[in-house]
Amino acid sequence: MTAVATDAVMDYDEAMAKFDPVMGLEVHVELHTATKMFCGCPTGFGAEPNSQVCPVCLGLPGALPVVNEKAVESAMRIGLALNCEIAEWCRFARKNYFYPDMPKNFQTSQYDEPIAYGGYLDVELEDGSIYRVEIERAHMEEDTGKSLHIGGATGRIHGADHSLVDYNRAGIPLIEIVTKPMVGAGERAPEVAKAYVSALRDLLRALDVSDVKMEQGSMRCDANVSLRPKVGDPLSSEQLAVPLGTRTETKNVNSLRSVERAVRYEISRHAAILDAGGSVLQETRHWHEDTGITTSGRVKSDAEDYRYFPEPDLVPVAPTREMVEALRATLPEPPGQRRKRLQSDWGYSDLEMRDVMNAGAVELIEETVAAGASAGAAKKWWLGEPSRRANAEGQDIVTYAAALGFTPAHVAELDALVTSGRLNDSMARQVLDGVLAGEGTPTAVADARGLELVKDDGALEAAVDKVIETNPDVAAKIRDGKVQAAGALIGQVMKEMKGQADAGKARELILAKLQ
């Protein structure tokens, strides 16, 4: 394929004045079970190509699949957390298509009998309002292999001479979560889409069923968008009565930011087509992260004919109600509720809580507080140097700290050294550097580096006297009540003490002598 023509787009605000957007999101989540959906092959990311395959996931003749018990449990827990009904009886089905990413020439999925259906997820938007996303279904299936296209443009399918396939990913348990049409979001549709995927990611993380790493593909989103004429308020009965427009499905939108951008782009693109009197082609679109646009994935009339039929090699899944209730009892506190509780316990402002969430440091702070630190100190230390370094390394803080062996207990210990009066803030920062450099625990680092506030009040007092004497003008100002001038003296006292003094105590002494 040659250069892609750029589609016309309408200004977003203009589009929103004329049209009402409706979305449908399909999210695929890879479960982090130890083994694949239908065989005992391991699922680890990044293994040597084709080293995690067996006759079942290679589709060799005569190989028989057996369902992974843990994967079914995870699917049911996801369904329950999404307030779904759990099927009393359901089957797997073969989705038939020829494509080398599935060596069997079909994908084992579920068709009209999903394990979970009819739920909802309440999503909190930035202004604190709640949008309820209705869940159509969540079903079990298996992931496909990964293709590498050789020849032609780099890695693109078009113009490739041949393709190389690695089946390590083929057969990894996948849960597909499908929403009902999301109506009534109006101009906030892109924000709602992003907030939903974000809330779903938090929920799946809390359930501990998936790594939910969008950048590694363990969570992937397809966004369906359609427009209909705007006739009133997004939630008005007149507006809701307008039939849905033709939708497009934008595939593999693989970051939260891209979800928002892709929905926004498709709205603007549809609007331009419809406004010019054209009609939207029902098709698959590809999202381009770099240019921020979608391009046609070509329509093929045959493509949707998957000829599903019940998988004859697997027996039905029929969870007893006791099983369902036992799993329901294992559900974690919903992430939104947990966030509110922690924010209130910790006394953080909304902004502070958002910073902590964005830094991915909620669990670290929770453990640090449990280890005895104050919530304020825990936030200060985690969001400081460790976060900055993790960012610089392109890692999340949890992974970064774990790799260094830097733990919440270390932070709590550091905080204790400050609150007990052994270290001042700048000494504590030096100790932190030492701990991050692998020199040992905070106490060990402080000992090794000889860091300790001078407890000898006589030395401090002598330094204060000396500084007052050499700065008579500043001292005069403080005597006249300009207390803020004390800062200049404190700095000099600290210098006299080579940093080994308690700045608070120095301040007290200065003020006591001059007032």
Partner 1 sequence: MSSLSREDVAHLAGLARIELSDAELDRMVGELSVILESVAKVQQAPTDGVAPMSHPMPLTNVTRPDVVRPSLGAEAALAGAPEAEMQRFSVPRILDED
Binding flag, residue 62, partner 1 (CB under 8 A): no
Cβ closest to partner 1, residue 147 vs residue 395: 147
- Site residues (CB under 8 A) for partner 1, limited to 92-111: 96, 98-100, 103
Contact between residue 55 and residue 41 where contact means Cβ atoms under 8 Å apart: no
Sole binder of partner 1 in the list 3, 5, 46, 89 (CB under 8 A): 89
| Cα–Cα distance for residue pair 506/494, rounded to 1 Å | 8
Sequence-separated (6 or more) residues with CB below 8 Å from residue 147: 100, 101, 157, 163, 164, 165
- Provide the b/e sequence for 238-258 (b: ≥16 CB within 10 Å): ebbeeeebebbbbbebbbbeb
Sole binder of partner 1 in the list 157, 231, 331, 448 (CB under 8 A): 157
Contact between residue 438 and residue 405 where contact means Cβ atoms under 8 Å apart: yes
| Cα–Cα distance for residue pair 343/337, rounded to 1 Å | 10
Cα angle 229, 286, 266; round to 5: 20
Cβ burial of 358 (10 Å; 0-12, 13-18, 19+) is exposed
Binding flag, residue 303, partner 1 (CB under 8 A): yes
Cβ closest to partner 1, residue 317 vs residue 464: 317
Cβ closest to partner 1, residue 54 vs residue 240: 54
Rounded to 5 degrees, φ, ψ at 310 are -60, 135
Q: How far is the CB of 283 from partner 1 (least distance, A)?
A: 11
The piece of 232-240, 300-308, 359-367, 404-412 that touches partner 1 (CB under 8 A) is: 300-308
Q: How far is the CB of 55 from partner 1 (least distance, A)?
A: 7
For 46, 216, 390, 397, 431, the CA distances from 394, given in Å and listed in that order, are 18, 14, 6, 9, 24
Q: How far is the CB of 51 from partner 1 (least distance, A)?
A: 5
Contact between residue 207 and residue 332 where contact means Cβ atoms under 8 Å apart: yes
Binding flag, residue 155, partner 1 (CB under 8 A): no
- Site residues (CB under 8 A) for partner 1, limited to 42-61: 42, 48-55, 58, 60
- Site residues (CB under 8 A) for partner 1, limited to 135-154: 147-150
Sole binder of partner 1 in the list 66, 130, 244, 448 (CB under 8 A): 66
- Report CA Rg, the chain: 30
Sole binder of partner 1 in the list 10, 15, 25, 41 (CB under 8 A): 41
Binding residues for partner 1, rule: CB under 8 A, are 33-35, 39-42, 48-55, 58, 60, 66-72, 89, 91, 96, 98-100, 103, 147-150, 157-158, 160-167, 297-298, 300, 302-303, 305, 307, 310-312, 314-319
